[in-house]
Amino acid sequence: MKNLSKKIVTGFMTLAVCSMATVSAFAATTAIDENDTASSLQQKITYTKTQAEIVPAYTVSIPDTVTLGKESATLSYSLELQDDTSFVPDDEKISVKISSAGYSGNLRKLAVWDSRNLQEAEYLLYNSDAFANPTYYGIGDEIASWNGSNWGTVTRKIKLKDYYSVGAGTYNGVINYSISLEDE
């Protein structure tokens, strides 16, 4: 029985020594004692991520409906990054363009049909009320864009071209957009 106990104790001691030797082979160590009370150690950290692993995701918000009135209305286009790993790649942008608009393919037209006839109203989509000569947007024009440094909300304005000459009625039209990631 004594021999068996000695073999078990010897086995545990051998296992403990081998375990300590393995740990010390893979870990950097430093010793501190009463003669040397301070020490420092530098740890090297590396990380590699390939371009193929990066799949940024975004949400572009465009208002579903805009109601026109006597004064101009604000259109807000916004970009939100889906999570903390999303970003707009270098030298690229997210672009929102007008792909078609109006009714029957005519930009800037709204229509109303009453029992007597068809009436049209024209609208203007532009950059700001603050400019004396605003930029007006048409089919194919980029209305908003975001690159790596400017994400958030872009505002534009829309109004009836000649409010006082538009007849009574409920006018309807559409603006269709395309959204794409493209070269800057």
Determine the Cα–Cα distance for residues 88 and 93; give it in Å rounded to an integer: 7
Output 76 or 47, whichever has higher pLDDT: 76
| Mean model confidence pLDDT for the chain | 74
Determine the Cα–Cα distance for residues 158 and 156; give it in Å rounded to an integer: 7
> CA angle 161-98-171, nearest 5°?
40
DSSP state of 27: S
Bridge partners, residue 76, by sequence: 155
Asked if residue 4 and residue 81 are part of one domain, the reply reads no
The tokens of 20 are what? 């300590």
SS3 21: helix
The tokens of 123 are what? 């609208």
Asked if residue 99 and residue 164 are part of one domain, the reply reads yes
- pLDDT attached to residue 183: 87
Digit-coded pLDDT (tens) for 79-123:
887 765 567 777 888 899 988 776 655 556 665 655 567 777 888
Q: Which CATH number is 74's domain given?
A: 2.60.40.1090
Q: For 37-50, what is the mean pLDDT?
A: 68
- pLDDT attached to residue 9: 41
Predicted TM-score of the model (pTM): 0.62
pLDDT > 70 in the chain, percent = 61
Determine the Cα–Cα distance for residues 154 and 149; give it in Å rounded to an integer: 13
Is residue 46, in this structure, part of any structural domain at all? Answer: no
- Domain containing 4 equals 1-30
Is residue 47, in this structure, part of any structural domain at all? Answer: no
Asked if residue 88 and residue 10 are part of one domain, the reply reads no
Say if residue 122 is exposed, middle or buried (CB neighbours under 10 Å; 0-12, 13-18, 19+).
middle
